[in-house]
Amino acid sequence: MKELEEKIKNDGSIISEDILKVDSFVNHQVDPELMLHIGQDFAEHFKGRGITKVVTIESSGIAPALMTAQQLGIPLVILKKQPSKILNDNLYQTQVTSYTKGTSYELTLSANYIGEKDHVLIIDDFLANGEAATGAIRLLRKAHATIAGVGILIEKSFQPGREKIKSQGFEVYSLARVSKMQKDYIEFIPEE
Ligand code: 5GP
């Protein structure tokens, strides 16, 4: 998606060879117009596949996932990073290693919101090692849902996430695929 690539080039900052910061339009401040276009792109790509829910991981995936759900006319379900005191019954849980923090957290889903009749699209902001998306897949399997695919805003293609998700049998559709980055330099895999 050219618009996202341009935004990354102009407003993203490269923290190291493997961490890109997009705080000014995705992770801290959010650009609503860009999120709408992202939602339209994902919806156009995944439409007509019988998807019943969009699922994301709190918190950075929420804005683009909400726009995608709105465009597809279906609900958004947010996987929680901590078991809440209110969400105590009927919970599915799995441990995920955080890429940016290096620690692990418990990903939680209430059985009230996803079940065996659901066909789910997973949306997240970044794909690095594929731990977060694989955690989401594990939870959805526990809920007996089926998975339509994984939509990612920014895939770091030099890291193994795409292969990890593909090897589990799922499509990965990424809007911007970074092939290389260094201080003040970023390169994308051209769109097909
Ligand atoms: P993975 O689980 O695929 O290793 O990493 C994906 C998760 O880690 C995403 O949900 C995202 O929050 C975070 N992440 C991975 N790489 C980056 C990065 O370069 N920048 C930012 N801001 N977050 C990242």
Convert the pLDDT of each residue in 114-135 to its tens digit. 999 999 999 999 999 999 999 9
Residue 162 lies in a domain: yes
Residue 14 lies in a domain: no
Of 137, 85, 83, 95, nearest to 114 by C-alpha is 137
User: Would you place residue 87 in the very low, low, confident or very high pLDDT band (cuts 50, 70, 90)?
Assistant: low
84 Cα to the center of ligand 1, angstroms: 23
Distance CA 96, CA 126 (A): 15
User: Would you place residue 101 in the very low, low, confident or very high pLDDT band (cuts 50, 70, 90)?
Assistant: confident
Residue 149 lies in a domain: yes
Was 131 annotated as part of a binding site? Answer: yes
Residue 18 lies in a domain: no
Residue 67 lies in a domain: yes
Kindly tell me the burial class for residue 181, based on how many C-beta atoms sit within 10 Å of its own C-beta (0-12, 13-18, 19 or more): buried
**Pocket mutation for ligand 1, best pick of 11, 62, 81, 99 (most atoms within 8 Å of C-beta):** 99
Residue 15 lies in a domain: no
Backbone angles phi, psi at 177, to 5 degrees: -115, 110
**How many domains does the chain contain in total?**
1
Q: Is the ipTM of this complex over 0.95?
A: yes
Residue 116 lies in a domain: yes
Kindly tell me the burial class for residue 141, based on how many C-beta atoms sit within 10 Å of its own C-beta (0-12, 13-18, 19 or more): middle
| DSSP letter (8 states) at residue 89 | S
pTM of the model: 0.96
Protein residues with CB under 6 Å of any ligand 1 atom: 19-21, 27, 57, 60, 99-100, 124-132, 161
DSSP 3-state assignment of 43?
Answer: helix
Structural domain of residue 46, as residue ranges?
38-176
Distance CA 138, CA 133 (A): 9
Residue 101 lies in a domain: yes
CATH number for the domain harbouring residue 136? 3.40.50.2020
Work out whether strand 91-97 and strand 104-110 pair parallel, antiparallel, or are unpaired: antiparallel
